[in-house]
């Protein structure tokens, strides 16, 4: 089922097995003015079929669906739908499932009981390339990463150089190494060297963990 709106800036698809929830979210988003709901799916298989056909900007994805669940959808999407950014919309999942979903490419998590304004804000932020998490979820995810990685002990007040803070800010905005190098007029290898030093200073093991840490410790402001 598809629904179109004239000149929307964000094209959204909803994948959730509760029809009443989908209807409520669709009405909310279509009233926003800058968002269009272009498709709805009630299970994982239907979601994957529509993703290939519709190529939405943002997918609102429930982890718990009959048949293929949200994690299964993310696994099959991995690398095949680079244009679509995923936001988990959940009633409260096991933190390890959420960590796995983030590692599989999800860019945000929103509680189903959150205020409507937060859902709209999350869609706009994720569409712009940012990661969206509330403070409580960020802290929980960082704790979960600690339990599932070999990271060194993190420093509560890391001493990052101005250049390192610039790079952290751009990582949280979703830019890749080549794009960061172009923006800062440095080589891609220099970016990699800076990231190696940043990972060591903060005790994180990858870009996602860095972004979560930066959000939690308020390192995401413009340097």
> Structural domain boundaries of the chain?
10-145, 153-216
Task: With a cut of 50, say whether residue 5 has pLDDT above it.
Answer: no
155 pLDDT band, cuts 50/70/90, is low
The residues that bridge with 86 in the sheet, in sequence order, are 59, 106
Whole-angstrom Cα distance, residue 177 to residue 18?
40
Task: With a cut of 50, say whether residue 4 has pLDDT above it.
Answer: no
Q: Which residue has the higher pLDDT, 143 or 181?
A: 181
Q: Which residue has the higher pLDDT, 11 or 219?
A: 11
pLDDT recorded at residue 2: 47
pLDDT recorded at residue 133: 80
Q: What is the pLDDT of residues 81-137, one digit of tens each?
A: 788 999 999 887 677 788 888 888 898 988 888 888 989 999 998 998 888 886 667
Average per-residue pLDDT for the chain: 84
* Phi-psi region at 93: left, alpha or beta (left = phi > 0; alpha = psi -120 to 50): beta
pLDDT recorded at residue 222: 55
Which is nearest to 112 in space by CA: 137, 91, 94? 91
Q: What is the pLDDT of residues 34-88, one digit of tens each?
A: 999 999 999 999 999 999 999 999 999 998 888 899 999 999 997 677 889 999 9
Q: Out of 85-99, 117-131, 149-163, 180-194, which region has the weakest mean confidence (pLDDT)? A: 149-163
pLDDT recorded at residue 129: 84
User: Domain 153-216 carries which CATH code?
Assistant: 1.10.10.10
Q: In this structure, are residues 73 and 66 in contact, taking their beta carbons and an 8 Å threshold?
A: no
158 pLDDT band, cuts 50/70/90, is low
Q: Which CATH class is domain 10-145?
A: alpha beta
Task: With a cut of 50, say whether residue 191 has pLDDT above it.
Answer: yes
* DSSP assignments along the chain, one per residue: -----SS-SEEEEEE-S-HHHHHHHHHHHHTSSSEEEEEEESSHHHHHHHHHHH--SEEEE-S--SSS-HHHHHHHHTTT-TT-EEEEEES---HHHHHHHHHTTEEEEEETTS-HHHHHHHHHHHHTT--B--HHHHHHHHHHHHHHS-PPPPPSS----HHHHHHHHHHHTT--HHHHHHHHTS-HHHHHHHHHHHHHHHT--SHHHHHHHHHHTT--S--
């Amino acid at each position: 089922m598809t629904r179109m709106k004239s000149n929307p800036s964000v094209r959204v698809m909803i994948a959730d097995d509760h029809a009443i929830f989908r209807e409520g979210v669709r009405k909310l988003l279509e009233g926003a003015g800058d968002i269009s709901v272009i498709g709805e799916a009630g299970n994982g298989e239907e979601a994957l079929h529509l993703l290939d056909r519709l190529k939405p900007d943002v997918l609102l994805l429930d982890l718990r669906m009959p048949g293929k669940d949200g994690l299964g959808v993310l696994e099959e999407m991995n690398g095949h739908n680079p244009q679509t950014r995923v936001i988990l919309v959940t009633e409260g999942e096991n933190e390890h499932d959420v960590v796995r979903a983030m590692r599989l490419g999800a860019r945000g998590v929103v509680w189903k009981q959150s205020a409507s304004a937060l859902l709209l804000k999350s869609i706009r932020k994720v569409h712009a390339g940012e990661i969206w998490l509330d403070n409580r979820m960020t802290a929980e995810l960082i704790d979960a990463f600690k339990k599932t990685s070999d990271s060194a002990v993190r420093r509560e007040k890391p001493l990052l150089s101005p250049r390192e803070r610039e790079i952290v800010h751009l990582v949280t905005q979703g830019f890749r190494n080549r794009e960061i190098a172009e923006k800062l007029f440095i080589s891609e290898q220099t970016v990699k060297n800076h990231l190696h030093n940043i990972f060591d200073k903060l005790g994180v093991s990858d870009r996602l963990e860095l972004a979560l840490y930066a959000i939690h410790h308020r390192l995401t402001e413009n340097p």
